[in-house]
Amino acid sequence: MKEFEVVITETLRKSVKVMADSLDEAQQSVMKDYYTGEYILDADSFDGVNFETTELLPEKIKVVLLEPGKLAQVTEVSYKFEDMRKVVEGNIDIIPFYGDTVIVFNRDGKIDGLPLNRSLRNKEGRVTDIIAGKFFICKGDGDDLTSLSDVQIEKISERFKKPERFYKHGEEIKAVPYVPNKKDLER
């Protein structure tokens, strides 16, 4: 369920006729009388109502965070762009992952020499890419990033639970999941 803010604006309107030498003088005269209580707008002055609804963005979203050499972790990330940049330690890029989920990662991770993290695979299970550096997975629809559902968290956490080590075998890159030892987890 989402949170929304609805602003209700009621409009009151009263027409006043005054004698004056100019438009400005007429307006100043009525303003003076209004602020001193000469003119009071009440229920008889009601002219309409307007409702304006906006969706309130969450302060944090629930994601699966993936760090090189560490087990997958469910956490919350600030919805603010700058805070997301801090999480991935650089410039953000977003790619579709599965269904309505997206991967948010450091687009310069490989260029900057960040440690290799997790592999992306095609339907046949072959490694098609490797993400370098920290990244997270959340729900995404265009620029709108939201929390993962419990089912999505479970599936993604299982798929990316263990970190991977990479090696080249012929023309292919292989990714082998491993259980990090205590020393790896302390890094």
Which pLDDT score, from 0 to 100, does residue 184 have?
A: 53
Which pLDDT score, from 0 to 100, does residue 181 have?
A: 83
What average pLDDT is seen over the chain?
91
Q: Is 26 helix (H, G, I), strand (E, B) or coil?
A: helix
Which pLDDT score, from 0 to 100, does residue 55 have?
A: 77
- Residues 104, 144: Cα–Cα separation, whole Å: 12
Which pLDDT score, from 0 to 100, does residue 183 have?
A: 63
pLDDT digits 0-9 by tens, 56-111: 777 899 999 999 999 999 999 998 889 999 999 999 999 999 999 999 999 999 99
Which pLDDT score, from 0 to 100, does residue 1 have?
A: 65
Sorted by where each begins, the domain ranges of the chain are: 4-55, 60-186
pTM of the model: 0.69
Which residue numbers in the chain have pLDDT < 50? Answer: none
